[in-house]
Structure 1
Amino acid sequence: MMHSHGLRASSVAAASGIVTTGLVLNLDAGNSASYSGSGTTWTDLSGYGNNGTLVNGPTFSSANGGSILFDGTNDYMSATLGGSGCDRTTFSVDWWTRPTAVSNYDQLILMNSSGTAGTYWQGFTFTTNSLGQWSVGTALFTASATETSTSTLFTNGQWCHVVISFDGTTMKAYKNAVEVMSASSSVHSSNFVLLQVGAGPGFFQNTYFDGNLAALKVYSGKALSAAEVTQNFNALRGRYGV
């Protein structure tokens, strides 16, 4: 059951100064227009209506302006990316997170082209590997699969801004506006129509994320530049003391 941890501030300013070009999903638990503090709907502020659905009772925390807490047991969020979905050839995913406990194959972000949760045909996935390092993959479980791990680690209990950008050739990862990975990556065969946070597909489906997610943005047809990553980082960093 959804419930609130403590009292939420009566007014939280909407994030200003974020990059809006190509923005097709904008979830912000620190904005009451996006999440009221209760219920299962996390409203998309991009204007495209790609609302998220919270499953199995993720809870709201009022700390740091507001975030959604996933329990690491069975909580996750799912959102359908309407229209033609997210462009598989050029995209970016941007989020603020605070892991409680990172473990092997924790599934943080997944986008697939089937529109069905729990399928193997992953267009894009962000997980942690057996060392707790970031692992980013495209077109997994296909002949053109690509997966790259970085030496970058999450720190349990600390807020972190993560951005993954893909320009059709190169996948880049940023932690707190610092580039930590750049690698060639394959292009998935179809646009992404389903986004899932906190749980993976198939034999990874029981590797749930344990921690907070405060804000999540998806850009279609837009690979954020280093300057734009910094712009988004600066727009919200004050909330999280980073």
Structure 2
Amino acid sequence: MQIDLTQRSAVVTGGANGIGLATARRLATSGARVAIWDRVAAVGTAAVQSLVDAGLDVIFVEVDVTDTAGVQHAVAETMTRFGRLDILINNAGIVRDAQLVKVRDGVVTGGMSEADFDAVMSVNLKGVYTCTQAVVPHMLTRRWGRIVNATSVVAANGNFGQTNYVAAKAGVIGMTKVWARELGRRGITVNAIAPGFIATAMTEAIPPTVLQTMKDATPLSRLGTPDDVANAYCFLVSEQAGFINGAVLGVDGGLVIGT
């Protein structure tokens, strides 16, 4: 399937590395002008330069998705450069894993901190809300838009040590369905991607035995790649996906059916 995003402009949050960078590259190679929004200027600038050197139309905007004023500024800067906003990929996310509570010999010895719970909810849930609310008015003026949010297979199944992450990703699914109802009649589709185990920089530190367990749990017997997820994002923002709205697309190699 040939996807043509010429004349479209896109924002990819958390686009400086991993799945976000692969997505920015995929959208740009399909013809879109792409703004990578990320917190770390040095990493973002280097990522954009690599894409520009490949002949792609990509810019970097430094922004923290939890900062409402900063997001508004990022929207204004992107509009100045592109003149329109058609596509929003809410990809930015963090993890701060810990068990809810640890008890040894009847004594509480640890657990998830309030700070770690709040940080994950702020980036992974509120950040999606903040960016979407800031971008949508520019889609409404053209009565066309594509929004795709990053959730996770753990939103449905839970995952040990991820109270905060699972809660945030489940919330993203809920917001996706609300916005699909609210915005669909205005020509804007809102969907979500639910990745499974994906090989990124974070998985490089995982012991080989644990990685093998992850592969064994996946019916396709491998980890996904950032490009696997990027391809799904690209399809959902295309004209070909114009009648898909409020959906959660699993990109997990069959992990959900295998658990």
TM normalised by structure 2 equals: 0.27
Bigger strand share:
1
Between the two structures, name the one with larger relative contact order (CA 8 Å, sep ≥ 6).
1
Bigger helix share:
2
Which protein has the larger Cα radius of gyration, Structure 1 or Structure 2?
2
